[in-house]
Amino acid sequence: MAQDAREPGKQELPTEEELTRAGLRLAVEGAVARITISRPERRNAMTGRTWTTLAHIGQALPGDVRIVVIAGEGDIFSAGIDLNMFTPEGVDGERSIVAGLADGSADEADLDAYISELQQGFLWLRRPDLVTIAAVRGHAIGAGFQLALACDLRILADDARFCMKEPALGLVPDLTGTKPLVDIVGVHRATEICLTARKVGAEESRELGLATLVVGVDELEGAVDDAVAGLMATNPDAAVATKALLQQAAGNTLEEQCAAERKAQVGRLTALAKAMAPGA
Ligand code: ACO
């Protein structure tokens, strides 16, 4: 289940100190929030704290934010999970993923709950009240690929490389990436990409529909700004209703989807009529 929508004013955004400890930067300007994965000395590898802090950002974003852009610091999106998370020591005092199972202090249910908590950092990016954009330079490996898959749009520099590395490490992709991957490329191509753990370059990503757009490295920032401007030009309420409608389409029969379209449109027309009424 996706997270509940934000409740403005109910929760403060993470402090600068919390963001730094999570390897993140955040800039909110009006309707646009920009999140940067920022651990350049670890190739922007992410930890459990990165994802719980992402979830916190999602809950606390001001109510007028419509667009979220996620990028990596420097010339890489992210090297995926910080591999030290799999060591008994973990990372900077963070809980190790394996230590509890190894010493018997955690059981399978504890681990399931922990992974569920981490998945929250990815799920909120699907919320209909936001449009989320991954701006990808260089590698997006494992959890980095899954983070890009959690976004609505993926704008890639031509040096971008996606890689679902987990199976090569004896793991499965568990940070919400398998569904969007299959939705976009189909189960057969997804199987090949995951089970070979090969790198998928920018041009192939465009052909497969994984990339919304591929541009030169120097053009990435401008292409993201153009996409943001284009999205901002749309009526905000219609954007929310349309994203919600599109998200249902794959799971609905044609009849159900037609009913959903009618319901959403009645809501829109009612709102527009109210706005046009004399004295409104
Ligand atoms: N976790 C922890 N440290 C990392 C990670 C990572 N995922 N990736 C890179 N680093 C560290 C390296 O250990 C190295 O540290 P050092 O300077 O102390 O030796 C530093 O970042 C630079 O790494 P290089 O490998 O030298 O950088 P390069 O640019 O040559 O390669 C690349 C980048 C391709 C991302 C490579 O580092 C890599 O393959 N990393 C591992 C990717 C991986 O397996 N991620 C886990 C996927 S599974 C999942 O995400 C759930």
Identify residue 103 by its one-letter amino acid code: D
Q: Give the DSSP H or E segment for 272.
A: helix 254-276
Ligand 1 mutation pick, 39, 42, 43, max ligand atoms within 8 A of CB: 43
Give the chain's radius of gyration (CA, Å).
20
Atom of ligand 1 nearest to the CA of 42: 21
- Which residues does ligand 1 sit against, CB inside 6 Å? 42-43, 45, 79-84, 139, 141-143, 165-166, 169
Q: Tell me, in angstroms, the distance from the centre of ligand 1 to residue 83's CA.
A: 8
> Are 24 and 55 a contacting pair, CB within 8 Å?
no
Mean pLDDT score, 18-41: 98
Q: Where do the structural domains in the chain lie, given as residue ranges?
A: 16-233, 235-279
Q: Tell me, in angstroms, the distance from the centre of ligand 1 to residue 32's CA.
A: 30
**Is the per-residue pLDDT at 176 higher than 80?**
yes
Per-residue pLDDT band at 6 (split at 50, 70, 90): low
**Is the per-residue pLDDT at 1 higher than 70?**
no
Percent pLDDT > 90 in the chain is: 87
ipTM for the complex shown: 0.98
pLDDT at 88: 83
Which residue has tokens 């993470």? 14
Burial of 217: CB neighbours in 10 Å, binned 0-12, 13-18, 19+: middle
Q: What is the CATH number of domain 235-279?
A: 1.10.12
pLDDT at 2: 44
pLDDT at 3: 46
Mean pLDDT score, 227-255: 97
Atom of ligand 1 nearest to the CA of 173: 51
Q: Which residue's CA is the nearest one to ligand 1's atom 25? A: 43
Q: Find the range with the poorest average confidence among 96-105, 155-164, 243-252, 261-270.
A: 96-105
Q: Tell me, in angstroms, the distance from the centre of ligand 1 to residue 134's CA.
A: 20
pLDDT at 53: 98
Topology adopted by domain 16-233? 2-enoyl-CoA Hydratase; Chain A, domain 1 (3.90.226)
**Is the per-residue pLDDT at 101 higher than 90?**
no
Which residue has tokens 């929760």? 11
Q: Which residue's CA is the nearest one to ligand 1's atom 31? A: 43
> Are 232 and 130 a contacting pair, CB within 8 Å?
no
More confident residue, 106 or 50: 50
pLDDT at 218: 98
Q: Do domains 16-233 and 235-279 have the same CATH topology?
A: no
Listed residue (99, 150, 149, 86) closest to 123, CA to CA: 150
According to DSSP, the residues that pair with 141 across neighbouring strands are: 163
**Is the per-residue pLDDT at 167 higher than 60?**
yes
Atom of ligand 1 nearest to the CA of 163: 47
Give the Å distances, CA to CA, from 169 to 81, 85, 165, 196, 217.
12, 13, 7, 11, 30
Task: Please tell me what DSSP assigns to residue 134.
Answer: E
Mean pLDDT score, 7-11: 67
Distance, in Å, from the CA atom of 153 to the CA atom of 78, rounded to the nearest integer, reads 17
pLDDT at 143: 98
Percent pLDDT > 70 in the chain is: 97
Mean pLDDT score, 197-207: 98
Mean pLDDT score, 180-184: 98
